[in-house]
Structure 1
């Protein structure tokens, strides 16, 4: 029986043409970054991502976030450095070989497990304060939130948020990146991104949740920082009643948003979920 041929990396076309002239991409100056690991004469380097040399401005994501590019297996996102880690994607911070496959995980068991890690435990002295933090929910996993109402075009919302974050200075020096992935939710896993590593070191679980948010809320990954994730939302909850279970999912997914931010699920639902087209997450 003949062996199946290896699937060609969609970034390979940029190996000798990093501006993508031959496929008609007309990219800004940039370069490929190879997958980490041992190299030798017997093994050709494999590109992990392409990143622009310089920061990009308003309109950059919209220029390259197309259905044709996605059909070719490439997802366009923004990467943002931070002081001391201006180019963290070049500093051996990406470990794709450690990640499992998002196809192997289902959102509800993932979030239920995350929830069990972060809900306050009365036996450890987390009494009334803990109850107030997760109210109106108890220690039992509250279940998945209902899908969002009809919203705007998800890709249009992603590009609009990117422009808003750049224009406001929220992303002061973003780089354009192209990542081989079948869908935007899988970009963190495809990169081997370690942003949540102090909470969860298998980013495939993070992608499993992002996939569900794509389907339920028109969410799209817009930007990644060293330990930050920014997602656009085309169909956010419009009422507090709908936003509360979404806020519970966010607490399970990224507890620092509440532990070191809003202080309670109720406050977070009002401040960061209801009607919001931008869901931002960070892990300390």
Structure 2
């Protein structure tokens, strides 16, 4: 048994790490901050940049290996510590399980919190209330509910297109644009679940329980054919096989994005409005998220 296979068996004792062990460059296991000595690690991290094509090979092998590959980015370019991955800044202390949560309820709560006219128990002033209204128009009456399944999606609630092919295409694009990305492996059924398994805490200023984020991403996997490909310190990159096809549909999807990650709209657009954000989603093969 190789050293790589031995390490991977600590990640997933019941899996089949031999399916990928021989593909891997040198790397090491990473544990969360709370793990005691001898506790099972949560992530395998390559020592150096991800070789071209490796993510795709690992992705194809996932059904057998049970190890979901992630492209991992550091907090800053040239970060020698490769935070948070190399420093183990991961935590499962407040994490539940994705199947504890109804994704629609998670999004409703996120929307209501981000559109509240009170902050810390104090009412916003009229100008702030007006600005908030402009941000979430045309949904001034409240949470519009999750968007209908994209027209043409295959099956009942399932996404059309080719989700796995879209994921591999995005991986190629991301690797071509960033030579410092490393490979991570997590014992999980999907990228959405991998976030909870490894204890990623990127949205901690907005949501402490990463399992809620995983629950929403799992729902998007089913409805839009998304796949989680890259994770940074507080960023996610998802491939999308069944994006909205027009601006009307995109507005409803934009509301979901806002409910999960309000910084995408408040800080990611010039005007901080859904109506500016939504057109970017029409036919988009990639969704990006960033939490302040």
TM-score by length of 2: 0.83
- Match for 2:105 among 109, 118, 130? 109
Aligned to 1:228: 235
CA distance in 1, matches of 2:62, 2:22: 9
* Alpha-carbon offset, residue 38 of structure 1: 5.3
Q: 1:210 to 1:23 in 2, by over 3 A?
A: closer
Contact persistence 2:240–2:286 (CA under 8 A): yes
CA distance in 1, matches of 2:22, 2:54: 12
- Match for 2:167 among 151, 158, 172? 158
Q: 1:205 to 1:22 in 2, by over 3 A?
A: closer
* Alpha-carbon offset, residue 37 of structure 1: 3.4
Contact persistence 1:58–1:162 (CA under 8 A): no
CA distance in 1, matches of 2:35, 2:174: 38
* Alpha-carbon offset, residue 45 of structure 1: 3.4
Aligned to 1:5: none
* Alpha-carbon offset, residue 73 of structure 1: 2.3
Contact persistence 2:19–2:64 (CA under 8 A): no
Q: Give the gaps of 5 or more residues in structure 1.
A: 1-8
Residue 54 of structure 1 aligns to a residue in which SS? strand
Residue 52 of structure 1 aligns to a residue in which SS? strand
CA distances 1:1-23 after superposition (whole Å, capped 9, x unpaired): xxxxxxxx9932689xxxx6686
Residue 96 of structure 1 aligns to a residue in which SS? coil
Aligned to 2:290: 282
Q: Is residue 91 of structure 1 aligned with residue 93 of structure 2?
A: no
Contact persistence 1:98–1:192 (CA under 8 A): no
Aligned to 1:73: 66
Residue 90 of structure 1 aligns to a residue in which SS? coil
CA distance in 2, matches of 1:257, 1:36: 28
* Alpha-carbon offset, residue 173 of structure 1: 1.1
Q: 1:111 to 1:192 in 2, by over 3 A?
A: same
Q: How large is the Cα RMSD of the aligned pairs?
A: 2.3
After TM superposition, the structure 1 = structure 2 runs for residues 45-60 of structure 1, keeping only pairs within 5 Å, are: 45-60=39-54
After TM superposition, the structure 1 = structure 2 runs for residues 79-228 of structure 1, keeping only pairs within 5 Å, are: 79-83=72-76, 84=79, 86-119=82-115, 121=117, 123-125=123-125, 126-148=128-150, 149-150=152-153, 151-167=160-176, 169=177, 171-228=178-235
Aligned to 2:30: 33
* Alpha-carbon offset, residue 69 of structure 1: 2.3
TM-score by length of 1: 0.86
User: Number of residue pairs matched?
Assistant: 265
- Match for 1:261 among 251, 268, 278? 268
Residue 139 of structure 2 aligns to a residue in which SS? coil
Contact persistence 1:21–1:27 (CA under 8 A): no
Contact persistence 2:34–2:91 (CA under 8 A): no
Q: Give the gaps of 5 or more residues in structure 2.
A: 1-5, 154-159
Contact persistence 2:31–2:90 (CA under 8 A): no
Contact persistence 2:59–2:69 (CA under 8 A): yes
CA distance in 2, matches of 1:10, 1:139: 53
